A = this chain, B = another copy of it.
């Protein structure tokens, strides 16, 4: 018996949760887990419900049809997905392999419920890491960037990618790609944003003499490093850590923040509203 995950957001109103949980109960579903949040400023309602059995399992199409009759008048954006269905995830990487290695370990161990149709890169260096896991590795030549991004977008489409993870992919995505995959491109930035937007954050952290470094997992948007933040991680540093030490210490922050962010996404725990990510953690 597998769980279904229902995510929904809409303008706030009285009795929303009662109506939604009522619908699930009447359809024979058994709630496992409920997350709910109302943004008091935006007056916006968010919920994530995990439930088993009932109509959603027996006849998902019919459940959707019935639920849309409830959700439509609410102007709700919603999604129903079986929890056990893996998310088709293309991983993009450049030379640094620590995030890729970490994602692959978590994928192989079952911690991340994804399937990886391809690892795509602008460099050859990560090929062995991908191929020894039996994954297709595709290099795209980025000497002509517009052509390369065109090629990339075509491949993502052919691969049926539902999610794109930038696991230290050091190319700035064009707006068109961000738009086409809005809310479905996850990036890891190697600083605790909004500090050190852009290039060389560890070098700049060293020069500023900060006592903390960090990493930020966020959705990519056309504004560089400005997208909704899913997760952040920090580590203490001391005066004796030079920029290379910061790179080394930062790698653990990057791996942890990215892995958690991807997991939250593929478990349908994230709802985005404006520039804020509502994350129903576990």
Q: Is A157 positioned at the interface, with any CB of B under 8 Å from its CB? A: no
Within 8 Å CB of A196, what residues of B?
194
> Contacts A21-B21, A279-B239: A210 and B229 contacting too (C-beta < 8 A)?
yes
A9 to chain B, nearest CB (A): 12
Q: Is A34 positioned at the interface, with any CB of B under 8 Å from its CB? A: yes
| Interchain CA distance A208-B277 in the complex, whole Å | 10
Chain B residue nearest in CB terms to A243: B41
Partner of A275, one of B209, B231, B248: B209
| Interchain CA distance A124-B105 in the complex, whole Å | 18
Q: Is A15 positioned at the interface, with any CB of B under 8 Å from its CB? A: yes
Residues 144-187 of chain A: 1 if any B CB is under 8 Å from the residue's CB, otherwise 0?
Answer: 00000000000000000000000000000000000000000000
Question: Interface residues of A, CB < 8 Å — how many?
Answer: 64
| Interchain CA distance A207-B42 in the complex, whole Å | 12
Residues 200-227 of chain A: 1 if any B CB is under 8 Å from the residue's CB, otherwise 0?
Answer: 0000000111111010000000000000
A259-281 at interface with B (beta carbon < 8 Å): 275-279, 281
A78 to chain B, nearest CB (A): 17
Within 8 Å CB of A31, what residues of B?
14-18, 36, 38
Within 8 Å CB of A192, what residues of B?
192, 195, 210, 212, 234
A–B complex contacts, Cβ < 8 Å, 20 sampled = A14-B31, A18-B25, A32-B40, A33-B38, A98-B105, A98-B109, A102-B105, A192-B212, A194-B195, A194-B210, A195-B195, A209-B229, A210-B229, A211-B229, A211-B230, A211-B279, A234-B234, A239-B276, A239-B277, A241-B282
